[in-house]
Amino acid sequence: MESLETMTNAVPERTSLGARMQLSFVVPDLQEALKFWTETLKVGPFVVIEDLGDRHFFYRGQESPVEILIGFSYVGETQIELIEQINSAASPYTDFLESGRQGLHHFGFWPDDCEKARLELEQRGFKEVLVIQASNGGNKVTYHSGPEHVGAMFEIAPMTPERAKHFAGLKALADNWDGTRPVRWFRTRAEYMASEDCKA
């Protein structure tokens, strides 16, 4: 598996956003989306996390009890994320679906210096709209809306050792997938990380 250093520095960094990227899709039906990606596009396997645990969502400055299911896989070096919100709390996900859209919602990045990346996005016309944070104040994730021509939000998150292990496990699964068990469901991220699927 890739180390934290490899996950962050394998490619020369030419932007404060870092060298790795995620494409995140918001969908009304995760099961249907998983079927399309695994059966039609032959991408997988997907690891689905049902409970994010100690995460608090603040959308446009107001705390919101957002509940989501997330599925992860990889296509080469690019991570694929599928999100279904399972309640009606205010969020960029519900706004997106209620506008009549679905599909590509945001680009995710894991820069070495998150605060520098956030500041540079703000200087380039992006606006912070969502903060996801643990109760202890750590592991801050932010979403930023951008100029109309970008067409999607940007997500900034720190590449913590836990996240690096999580992502390395996902990539190893995708790189070595033989077509079996196209979707692996886990209640929590910790459950997945303790499983054989995170050690593949």
Whether the pTM exceeds 0.75: the reply is: yes
Q: Give the tens place of pLDDT for each residue, 35-78.
A: 999 999 999 999 999 998 889 999 999 999 999 999 999 999 99
What is the average pLDDT across 1-9?
48
Predicted local distance difference test score (pLDDT) of residue 5: 47
What is the average pLDDT across 183-196?
95
Q: What does the alpha-carbon distance between residue 57 and residue 141 come to, in Å, rounded to a whole number?
A: 10
What is the overall mean pLDDT for the chain? 91
Predicted local distance difference test score (pLDDT) of residue 138: 73
Instruction: State how far the alpha carbon of 111 is from the alpha carbons of 10, 179, 183, in Å.
Output: 13, 32, 29
Location of structure tokens 């997988």: 44
Q: Give the tens place of pLDDT for each residue, 78-93.
A: 999 999 999 999 999 9
Q: Which of 24, 73, 53 is closest to 184 using CA atoms? A: 73
In the structure encoding, which two tokens stand for residue 16, read together? Answer: 């404060």
Q: List the domain boundaries for the chain.
A: 4-106+160-198
Q: Which of the two residues, 156 and 20, has the higher pLDDT score?
A: 156
Predicted local distance difference test score (pLDDT) of residue 115: 93
Predicted local distance difference test score (pLDDT) of residue 195: 95
189 three-class SS: helix
Q: Give the tens place of pLDDT for each residue, 117-152.
A: 999 999 999 999 999 998 877 779 999 998 888 999
CATH T-level assignment (fold) for domain 4-106+160-198: 2,3-Dihydroxybiphenyl 1,2-Dioxygenase; domain 1 (3.10.180)
The type of residue at 138 is G
Predicted local distance difference test score (pLDDT) of residue 200: 59
Q: Which of the two residues, 200 and 113, has the higher pLDDT score?
A: 113
